[in-house]
Structure 1
């Protein structure tokens, strides 16, 4: 490779590769150089490091040729992933976006959960994105129709704020209040959004004879992210909330990751005046896809398959993800040693 060819090839390299080459030649000072100065540094040291420089250039050129050879996706079967072949980025991103609007029809498990609340407490254990919110909203509508107070709890103030905004759009701001450590808006509303710790404290006060926030008319308590029952530090808050919950109120526990839902349902049945019904639904309506985003901005499938492997034993990393992992490790180790 002549000097002119080398200079043209370096000009076409991404900045991350130039910086990597410059750092291998000039050390940490290269991290503070711009593109022009990096090229000058690499050219000055190219003779002593020609093998490394040419290898980097050839690898980049091969990658660009491989990308150019991938046919553009025309939709349909042409972009489908073929078994045995690593998934490409187009297959990973295909179909992602806002779906076309269509009439909503609740699933059988959703109606089962709502109707089971007429008879007792309910645990809903379904994958993320399956439609737990519909159950909460429909149960809230029915409780309001009976003029009962509804409390919706979440583990974080940020989640409570999000749910407050969502419920205000559905039911109207005059019917929704929020109580967290930072705010107390419309606390006499029939629907109250709060953190689980706030509800536990209110139930403490009620047990001591101090009735507040319409707990005497409480008809439904929705506990979101109820897997926190198993948390070593905060789990006691969820447990006490359930134990102190008024007997006239129905409990609706929502989670995507309860490890022992049958045991939890049996415990609730043993301490509450009504039986607890477990609703489990394992089909994921929105399949999970895993990608790896390198700090240089490159995105690639994490696994050879488009969707998540069914078990860890079947997980095989995508070749490009492996390469980016290795590159990241090398860059990180070099930075630590240089620092």
Structure 2
């Protein structure tokens, strides 16, 4: 049998048959779709082509054989049975029943109003930023913006200028709208490549490139009163320090930032926050404080949305089972197999 003939024959089989062939041959085959399974089986066939063809033929004969009256299933080919006994791990412990879609969706939405109490890490960050530079590394949705807003409010109360930078003009526009609503339109200005409004306001929103250019001009001798009264610089999305093209902008902004201003770096995805804090300590007049918090305030839920609009929890539990084997929800597995069968009936994507 040629490789093309074997590929066509594999493409004609259901995904379940391909998974049976992959047992003992392909690691973690249950994660692969039909097209990928065929590719992996063909790659493995170079080691034992005859064994793969023999097992495939045995499975084809099993499918074609009439079912026994007693309802017993035909045994798998001996080679597959041996591989299964040698490589298949012991069955997992019993699990609680899978959650329903209604249970999975329960609680999603805007929570009821309740008194706001800062988290300990927020209190720590606000206390530290009044004295030194701070790097905040916490998950998305944990409350970084609250720290930025309160730190800005305190700095302006001391008649200091505050600059809030973001990597994108769209994000700068969003923050301008948000802060204008919080502090009043006369208190907030914006400076981007496309927009300049209220440029002498005590709270300025700008892209990081704009601030870098202001600092360049000041280093060249140009007087800017805003920098003389600068008390706080908030660098949002500070993971851009690692960007191969734009990271230099963040580095130069930090290097040229006036020594009297406090730096507040915010990010949910800095991979090496301690290294960043150590670097700031080495080039700035005061030791940088790192504030880390790993627990998500807003937990994540994972679902599977079929192209036909059917929605299912991805796992058997409401939340993502971090640190544990991922037990897929039976309905999600069924929908995924259905999608594979619909889109790859002959082993190749539809055009």
Is the pair's TM-score, using the shorter chain for normalization, greater than 0.5? yes
Residue 318 (str. 1) matches residue 312 (str. 2): no
* CA RMSD in angstroms, aligned pairs only: 2.0
Query: Could you state the TM-score of these two structures normalised by the residue count of structure 1?
Result: 0.71
Give, in whole Å, the separation in 1 of the partners of 2:315 and 2:164: 38
The 1-side partners of 2:333 and 2:223 are apart by 59
How far apart are 1:268 and its partner, in Å? 0.6
Q: Which residue of 2 aligns with 1:327?
A: 338
Superposition pairs of residues 170-209 of structure 1, within 5 angstroms: 170-209=182-221
Give the TM-score normalised by the residue count of structure 2. Answer: 0.69
1:82-112 C-alpha deviation (Å, 9 max, x unpaired): 9532222112211112222122121221111
2:302 is the alignment partner of 1:302: no
Give the corresponding residue for 2:150: 138
Whole-Å separation in 2 of the counterparts to 1:317 and 1:208:
60
Partner of 2:229: 217
- How many residue pairs match? The answer is 257
Tell me what 1:79 maps to: none
1:289 aligns to 2:305 (yes or no): no
- Whole-Å separation in 2 of the counterparts to 1:337 and 1:176: 53
Residue 196 (structure 1) shift? 1.4
Which of residues 244, 252, 266 in structure 2 aligns to 1:232?
A: 244
Q: CA deviation at 1:317?
A: 2.7
TM-superposed deviation, 1:319: 2.5
Are 2:187 and 2:201, in contact at CA under 8 Å, matched by a contact in 1? Answer: yes
Trace 1:1-339 onto structure 2 (pairs within 5 A). Answer: 83-212=95-224, 214-311=226-323, 314-333=325-344, 338-339=350-351
Task: Give the distance between the partners of 1:190 and 1:305, measured in 2 at CA.
Answer: 48
- The DSSP-based 3-state class of the residue aligned with 2:122 is helix
Distance in 2 (CA, whole Å) between partners of 1:197 and 1:294 is 42
**Separation in 1, partners of 2:224, 2:97:** 62
Cα deviation code 1:1-40 (max 9, x no counterpart): xxxxxxxxxxxxxxxxxxxxxxxxxxxxxxxxxxxxxxxx
Distance 1:292 1:247, change over 3 A: same
Q: 1:330 to 1:215 in 2, by over 3 A?
A: farther
Distance 1:181 1:83, change over 3 A: farther
Task: Describe the SS at the equivalent of 2:271.
Answer: coil
Aligned residue for 1:100, secondary structure, equals coil
